[in-house]
Chain A
Amino acid sequence: MPKLKPTQEQAPGTNARSARAPIDLEALLEGDPKAFEQLVHQESTRLYRVIYRIVNDHHEAESVLQETFLQAYKRFHTFRRESKVTTWLYAIGINLARASLRKSRRYDTLSDEDIERLQPGFSRGMHTGDYEAWNPHKMAERSERKRLVHEAIRKLPPDYRLVVTLRDIEELSTAEVAHILNISDGAVRVRLHRARQALRSLLDRHFRS
């Protein structure tokens, strides 16, 4: 049985001892407590942020994170080595977070039809909309700008918010996101593009001159 010890001398996310140090995969898969603890130290903060952006509730995000690590520990023997172990871990966390969201019915987001309406229009291959540079004065107030962007991201439907979170905010590669979501690289880019265009459109009403 592993002896997991809480490490209180460092703040979450700093991970001074284990930050980016390679994890001994063989030891991890055999249930070595030190390797498992290293994984927990290394991935908790980022995985928490991803989960939070799905469930949108701090208490629930913490609960899902804990369950994710527990599930991973119990299922290491099912890890097929077809991806990085962290990619596999994220897939577990995201599935649990989606299940939690479905259960809680905390839906306060745009619909797929809304996303479609926020895409640019074309006629005979040409843009139908008129676009002007955004007003720099309206974009200058940093805290207000950040609030607007955060609110726009929060409004995205869960699947769109997830791909933006993984690819644009957490900066995972397209291939990693595709593996986590079990879709093709092309499908990741299509969803990401539609999400970015929807965000652009949502922000446009605040930043236009």
Chain B
Amino acid sequence: MLHLLEKIREIFRPSPSCQEVNRFLAEYIEGVLPPETQARFKMHLDQCSKCKPYFEQYLMTLEMVKEDEEVNPPEELLEHTIEFLRAHINHGERRDDA
């Protein structure tokens, strides 16, 4: 009976607005919203003529950001870092608690 009441309540619950959905897009993508909210957001994003293309662009942006690899460390980075630390730790600076 309770289950049925919950179902009926769900049917008559108003759909979230574009603004509400937009506000929690990061949470939606991370999957941290309650399952029921997650499902309602998905339905809105699938059907809303404004939110659907916006969300697609948002996801494309995210994908393109993830493939940003323009930062290439210098080849000697590790060698220089070890040299620096060896010079400062072995011959000079001591640990604060030493």
Q: Residues on A close to B: CB < 8 A? A: 1-8, 10-13, 31, 36-37, 40-41, 44-45, 48-49, 52-53, 58, 62, 65-66, 69-70, 73-78, 120, 122, 124-127, 129-134, 139, 145-146, 149-150, 153, 164, 168-169, 171, 174, 189-190, 192-193, 196-197, 199-200, 203-204
Q: Which residue of A lies closest to B80 (CB)?
A: A62
Which residues on the B side are within 8 Å of A127 (C-beta)?
18, 22, 50-51, 54
Distance between Cα atoms of A53 and B95 in the complex (Å): 29
Question: Does residue B47 face the partner (Cβ distance < 8 Å to A)?
Answer: no
- State how many angstroms separate the Cβ of A142 from the closest Cβ of chain B: 9
List B residues at the A interface (Cβ < 8 Å).
17-20, 22, 25-27, 30, 50-51, 53-54, 56-58, 60-62, 64-71, 73-86, 88-90, 93-97
A74 close to B96 (CB less than 8 A) = yes
Who on chain A is nearest to B53 by CB? Answer: A131
Report the number of A-B residue pairs with Cβ-Cβ less than 8 Å. Answer: 165
Query: In the bound complex, do residue B71 and residue A52 qualify as a contact, i.e. CB atoms below 8 Å apart?
Result: yes
Query: When chains A and B are docked, how far (Å) is the Cα of A40 from the Cα of B26?
Result: 33
Max chain A C-beta neighbours (<10 A), residue from B19, B61, B64, B83: B61
Q: Which of A13, A75, A190 touches B96 (beta carbons < 8 Å)?
A: A75
Main SS at interface, chain A: helix
**Choice from A1, A62, A125 contacting B19 with Cβ under 8 Å:** A125
Which residues of chain A come closer than 8 Å to B50, judged between CB atoms? 126-127, 129-131
Q: Is the CB of A70 within 8 A of B61?
A: no
Known contacts A76-B95, A126-B17: A12-B75 contact under CB 8 Å: yes
Residues in chain B near residue A66, CB distance under 8 A: 80-81, 84-85
Complexed CA–CA distance, A11 and B95 (Å): 29
B contact residues around A44 at 8 Å (CB) = 73, 77-78, 81
Most buried by B among A53, A77, A199, A200: A200
**Further contacts, 17 of them, CB under 8 A, given A58-B74, A122-B19, A146-B64:** A1-B89, A48-B77, A52-B71, A62-B81, A65-B77, A66-B81, A66-B84, A70-B88, A70-B89, A73-B89, A74-B94, A120-B22, A120-B54, A126-B19, A146-B70, A149-B65, A169-B65
